[in-house]
Amino acid sequence: MSETETQESAGSAKEHECFCMGTGPELFAMFKKLGPDSARQHFRNARVEMLKGMRAMIDRRIEDLSEGKESKGAKIPVE
């Protein structure tokens, strides 16, 4: 690989450093243009529902830990 090719590939990597390959900022710009009665409210509600789901999973795990369902080690007599 020549030095020019190396520089070009390094330059293109800097353009798209994120996993979304640059579409994230474009989507964000689209969402900023949406009106108040559009898809924006649906996406906001979806975020809230995702957080509620995570909270339910965390609450369930806390209940499991509080009830002592974890397996404990076996006792070994020491001489």
pLDDT (tens digit per residue) in 51-68: 999 999 999 999 988 887
In a domain, 5, yes or no: no
Q: Enumerate the H helices of the chain as residue ranges.
A: 3-15, 23-33, 39-66
Residue 74 resides in a domain: no
Regions of the chain with pLDDT less than 70: 1-18, 35-38, 69-72
Domain encompassing residue 62: 36-67
- pTM, two decimal places: 0.44
Region of 49 please: left (phi>0), alpha (psi -120 to 50) or beta: alpha
Is there a domain that residue 16 lies in? no
Residue type at position 31:
F
Residues sharing a CB contact under 8 Å with residue 40, sequence separation 6 or more, in sequence order: 31, 34
